Structure 1
Amino acid sequence: MVWEAEVEELRRRTEMSNRGGTPDRIDRQHRLGRLTVRERIDGLLDPGSFHEVGALAGLGEYDEGELVDFTPASYVMGLGKIDGRTVAIGGEDFTIQGGSAVFPMQRSKGGLGGFCEELAVEYRVPLILLIDGAGANVSATKKMGTTYLPNGGTNFVTSIEAMRNVPVLAGVLGAIAGGPAGRALMVHWSVMTRGRSAMFAAGPPVVKRGIGHDVTNESLGGSQVHVHTSGCIDNEAEDEGDAFNQLRTMLSFLPDNVNELPPAAPALDAPEGAGEKLIDLVPRNTRRPYSMYKLIRSVVDGGDYFEVKPHWGNSVITVLARVDGMPIGIVANNPLKNGGALDRDGSDKQTHFLELCNYFHIPIVYLVDVPGFMIGEQAEREGTLRSGMRAVWVGLQATVPQLTIVIRKCYGMAGMATGNPRRLNYRLGWPSGEWGSIPIEGGVDAAYRREIANAPDPEAKREEIEADLRQLRNVFLTAETFGIEEIIDPRKTRSYLQQFVERAYKVLPHELESKPLYGVRP
């Protein structure tokens, strides 16, 4: 065979590449409770589906022209399948120079831009990033012989192009800093492992040297920081296996690209008898909270849903679910958190979720119980009004079909963040609904201040005024003027959702137009 020697050399080099880092570095990775990048790819993809690209890239060591050793490039990438769907996938190999790109390459494999992301854009398939890189390595600067201006490359241009065209999902699976940390935020959805991963602009040694603070990976950028406090990362995983399951689940709700519809799944019934209990869900005492999660479980297929950002911005609940097998995005106010008042974090959470659903053609359902924006000194200092009005603005820009169901309260400017008058703005109300510019209990003191103060019995006067106004809060009076399209029996909520989903997915194929230049903002 003419080329047998070269084919044997190809086999040998591929085998050397597949080894990854040195055995001691692989052992260290495992001791930290982390998998190697190849183990991660095998754990996430359908068995045997990975087609690696660029396996021969790396640094060879030669003796008189013969290859005697080989260090692979610190990025592994290619194409594979998840539940039968083709994806582009890549990740840093932390066992090789901490995942940093220190070898001179004619073309980047991935990490920041690179061929992996170009594969996703060209073939219009989802991009999955398994991020575990330490960021820039000063030794690379010495090898290059010069420094560089960070705004001169096109790395993030490719990343933005990917976000404009295909779903981009990331798993933060190690301690990442610098560029990898930035890349983890330029995605549509992200997850990180608890206790085994961290993310920061600069790690503890740089923080100590720069500002004198003694910190650990966990205190500086663990999941408690970035999932529960900052909200930079969407979801938290118990371990890498859980992260892979969440990546698969999130992908199952998203289309391959922005020019396709979300994938359908087999339709399932709602939990038996759950809908009948909805008539008793909302207490007559408006100060008593209830669980919006019970409502969601009662109306979606199988009572099953996938929550996005479950540990942050908890005045708002954002979930992906299915009705008759078709994906929907649910934005629900949470009466168990500040009575459902829309605060800064909840507003930002809602804004990002609306952009995600709108960009990938997922119909939006609002389950409304919002007394208004969060009030008080802290809310004002946090800029709640700005974040809240941004949620209103994004909702008005959305082009997908939307349905609003008012469960209880819908007041003021925050109430404007629960629909889109630029489209049909179909609104349903439960009999427990109440709405207006401001809740009666808070508005009376402002509007009737002098009348109450001058009364012989101010408290009795306040009660008298509130009683008169409460009579006007009757949902049927609003329905008489067609101020709300329908008042419905709570037990029929799923039936209305089924009708909405059927109609929405007949409209959506005609609206697969080009999307905004900015895509979904980080």
Structure 2
Amino acid sequence: MVWQDRLDEIKQRTELARAGGEPDRIERQHARGQNTIRERLDILLDDGSFHEVGALAGAGLYEDGELREFTPAPYVMGLGKIDGRHVAIGGEDFTIRGGSAKHFHQRVKGGDVGGFPEELAREYLIPLVLLIEGGGGNVQRIASEGAPPLFAGNHQFMPAVEAMMYVPVVGAVLGFAAGGPAGRSQLVHWSVMTKDTSAVFAAGPPVVRRAMGQELTPRELGGPQIHVRQSGCIDNEAADEQDAFNQIKAFLSYMPSNVFELPPVAEFNGAPPDPEPLADIVPRDRRRPYQMHKILQATLDPGSTFEIKPHYGLSLITALARVNGHPVGVIANNPLAYGGALDGDGAEKQAHFIDLCDYFHIPLVFFVDVPGFAVGPEAERAATLKRGIRAAWAGMQATVPALSIVVRKCYGMAGMIPGDSRLRYKVAWPSADWGILPIEGGVEAAYRREIEASPDPEARRRELEDEFAEMSNIFRTAEAFGVEEIIDPLETRTHLERFVEHAYRVLPHELADGPKSRPGVRP
């Protein structure tokens, strides 16, 4: 063959690239309970579906024009399939310089903030999966390029931003991620990190030690306890890499491939959930909590619920689920945490989830039991008011169909957030209870002087509360058509099925508009 020498060199370079780092580095990776990037791709992607792009990128050492040594770029990327659906995918090779790019072209390939994998996803309109483990910038670039780099504006971030405008982007942190890779873990629609082997930080322990004099382990600085449970920077925690891959598959199963498509509808031939637990689940005593998760189990397709941020913003449940196989986004107040009061973390969680579902055409279902925003000094320091109004802003900008089911309390500004910004269709259970303020606190605020001046303040307080309780009868609201329906809880599934049928009939009209604009500046 005329070009056999070139073909032989392609084969040689490809084999060197696929070998990864030195054997001892691969052994250390395995000793930590981690897979290499190529092993991860083999596990996650459908068998034989991976097509690598950029395998020949790297650094060659030449003598007399002949290749003597080749170090692959510490990033592996390409195209593949997950459960039969096309994806773009990439991840750092931690066995090569800790996944840290030495040359600028390696950063463009994808080893830092963003690059070619994002462009593949954007061009082909397919989901992007990022398997993240790397150290970000490398000071060796100064020696190799002869000058310290100055980031030239937004070109570092634009590929990632543009990908997120058109396709679902997910990130799995499977090891230590600092600098650019850590930033990349935030430029996603959903993220997961492994429980025992991952950490995320803007700068790692050596930099923190030098800058602040603090001695911290990677997990103390940025492990799941920090970013899944406290900061909320990462959405979900995985027991191990296999669990992370299973969660990636689950998340993508609810998502369309891009903003021009509808979410995929799964076949549903099973029995609907048993509604009987709904009959007695809400106690008569309005101060007693109950398990909102049991309501979800009794109304959504069995086994279809995938919770987002289950360890953060605990007063709110956000989950992707299905009704008759159709994806829906579920937002439910959790009375087991702060009585369901919406705190700052919960409000932030709600705003992001509304944006996610609205952007990818997933109808919203609210299960409402909220006494209002969380109150007190801690709530004020946590900017609950501002973050709560941001959630309201997100709800008002959303155009996807929504249904609100008022299970119990619906009070205050937090009670204004659930619902459709257009139709505002609401149904309520007989246990529902709503108003401007909860009666107890509202009476205290409005009649404080009268109560204090009474010969028997406690008796006068109870008298006023009883008067307002009588006027707060939910059937009076129904008479005024302030609520569209009050239903038997056992009929909730039927209402959900009807809503989903109409929602998915309306949704195709949104597709032609492509990416949704977000006018205004969110407070």
Q: How does the TM-score come out when normalised to structure 2?
A: 0.97
Structure 1: distance between partners of 2:518 and 2:437? 35
> What is the CA-CA distance between 1:276 and the residue it aligns to?
1.6
Structure 1: distance between partners of 2:459 and 2:153? 71
Query: Is contact 1:163-1:188 (8 Å) kept?
Result: yes
**Corresponding position of 2:121:** 120
- Aligned pairs for 1:27-176 within 5 A: 27-103=27-103, 105=105, 108-111=108-111, 112-152=113-153, 154-176=155-177
AA in 2 matched with 1:304: S
C-alpha distance 504-389 of structure 1, shift in aligned 2 (>3 A): same
**Corresponding position of 2:455:** 456
> What is the CA-CA distance between 1:450 and the residue it aligns to?
2.1
**Corresponding position of 2:285:** 285
Structure 2: distance between partners of 1:518 and 1:20? 43
C-alpha distance 106-476 of structure 1, shift in aligned 2 (>3 A): closer
> What is the CA-CA distance between 1:5 and the residue it aligns to?
2.9
Other structure's SS at 2:361 match = coil
Query: Is contact 1:268-1:301 (8 Å) kept?
Result: no
**Corresponding position of 1:304:** 304
> What is the CA-CA distance between 1:105 and the residue it aligns to?
2.8
Q: Please give the per-residue CA displacement for 1:387-441, whole angstroms capped at 9, x wherever unaligned.
A: 0011001100001000000000000111011123x31010000000010000001
Other structure's SS at 1:256 match = coil
Query: Is contact 2:73-2:106 (8 Å) kept?
Result: no
Other structure's SS at 2:109 match = coil
Q: Please give the per-residue CA displacement for 1:348-373, whole angstroms capped at 9, x wherever unaligned.
A: 00000000000000000110000000
Query: Is contact 2:182-2:202 (8 Å) kept?
Result: yes
> What is the CA-CA distance between 1:70 and the residue it aligns to?
1.5
Q: Kindly indicate whether residue 219 of structure 2 is the aligned counterpart of residue 247 of structure 1.
A: no
Q: Please give the per-residue CA displacement for 1:8-35, whole angstroms capped at 9, x wherever unaligned.
A: 2222221111000000111111111111
Query: Is contact 1:164-1:518 (8 Å) kept?
Result: no
Query: Is contact 1:54-1:77 (8 Å) kept?
Result: yes
Structure 1: distance between partners of 2:461 and 2:115? 67
**Corresponding position of 1:372:** 372
Query: Is contact 2:141-2:148 (8 Å) kept?
Result: no
Structure 1: distance between partners of 2:444 and 2:117? 61
Other structure's SS at 1:302 match = coil
Structure 1: distance between partners of 2:27 and 2:174? 16
C-alpha distance 406-154 of structure 1, shift in aligned 2 (>3 A): same
**Corresponding position of 1:197:** 198
Other structure's SS at 1:500 match = helix
Query: Is contact 1:297-1:304 (8 Å) kept?
Result: no
C-alpha distance 91-107 of structure 1, shift in aligned 2 (>3 A): closer
Structure 1: distance between partners of 2:66 and 2:268? 60
**Corresponding position of 2:509:** 510
> What is the CA-CA distance between 1:157 and the residue it aligns to?
0.7
Structure 2: distance between partners of 1:357 and 1:117? 21
AA in 2 matched with 1:280: D
> What is the CA-CA distance between 1:335 and the residue it aligns to?
0.3
Query: Is contact 1:270-1:298 (8 Å) kept?
Result: no
Structure 2: distance between partners of 1:381 and 1:302? 40
Structure 1: distance between partners of 2:411 and 2:332? 15
AA in 2 matched with 1:224: Q
AA in 1 matched with 2:515: K
Other structure's SS at 1:208 match = helix
> What is the CA-CA distance between 1:106 and the residue it aligns to?
8.2
C-alpha distance 171-128 of structure 1, shift in aligned 2 (>3 A): same
> What is the CA-CA distance between 1:447 and the residue it aligns to?
1.2
Identical amino acids, percent of aligned pairs: 60
> What is the CA-CA distance between 1:270 and the residue it aligns to?
5.5
Structure 1: distance between partners of 2:449 and 2:101? 71
Q: What stretches of structure 1 of length at least 5 have no aligned partner?
A: none
**Corresponding position of 2:429:** 430
> What is the CA-CA distance between 1:277 and the residue it aligns to?
1.7
Structure 2: distance between partners of 1:116 and 1:185? 16
**Corresponding position of 2:442:** 443
Q: Please give the per-residue CA displacement for 1:299-350, whole angstroms capped at 9, x wherever unaligned.
A: 1111430000000001110000000110000000000000000000000000
Q: Please give the per-residue CA displacement for 1:32-82, whole angstroms capped at 9, x wherever unaligned.
A: 111111011111100110000111111122232222322111110000000
Query: Is contact 1:368-1:406 (8 Å) kept?
Result: yes
Other structure's SS at 2:70 match = strand
C-alpha distance 517-427 of structure 1, shift in aligned 2 (>3 A): closer
Query: Is contact 1:132-1:172 (8 Å) kept?
Result: yes
Query: Is contact 1:271-1:303 (8 Å) kept?
Result: no
Q: Kindly indicate whether residue 186 of structure 2 is the aligned counterpart of residue 177 of structure 1.
A: no
AA in 1 matched with 2:392: V
Structure 1: distance between partners of 2:432 and 2:271? 24
AA in 2 matched with 1:225: I
Structure 1: distance between partners of 2:476 and 2:337? 30
Query: Is contact 1:407-1:432 (8 Å) kept?
Result: yes
Query: Is contact 1:170-1:187 (8 Å) kept?
Result: yes
Query: Is contact 1:107-1:115 (8 Å) kept?
Result: no
Q: What stretches of structure 2 of length at least 5 have no aligned partner?
A: none
Other structure's SS at 1:300 match = coil
- Aligned pairs for 1:196-345 within 5 A: 196-269=197-270, 272=273, 274-345=274-345
Q: Kindly indicate whether residue 19 of structure 2 is the aligned counterpart of residue 19 of structure 1.
A: yes
Structure 2: distance between partners of 1:373 and 1:255? 33
C-alpha distance 495-18 of structure 1, shift in aligned 2 (>3 A): same
Aligned pairs, how many? 518
C-alpha distance 470-204 of structure 1, shift in aligned 2 (>3 A): same
Q: Kindly indicate whether residue 492 of structure 2 is the aligned counterpart of residue 493 of structure 1.
A: yes
Other structure's SS at 2:380 match = helix
Structure 1: distance between partners of 2:94 and 2:115? 18
**Corresponding position of 2:361:** 361
AA in 2 matched with 1:28: R
Deviates more, 1:274-283 or 1:431-440: 274-283
Structure 2: distance between partners of 1:177 and 1:376? 36
Structure 2: distance between partners of 1:156 and 1:404? 37
C-alpha distance 312-459 of structure 1, shift in aligned 2 (>3 A): same
**Corresponding position of 1:409:** 409
> What is the CA-CA distance between 1:169 and the residue it aligns to?
0.3
Structure 1: distance between partners of 2:121 and 2:345? 32
Other structure's SS at 2:262 match = coil
Query: Is contact 1:289-1:336 (8 Å) kept?
Result: yes
Other structure's SS at 2:185 match = helix
Structure 2: distance between partners of 1:311 and 1:33? 24
Other structure's SS at 1:342 match = coil
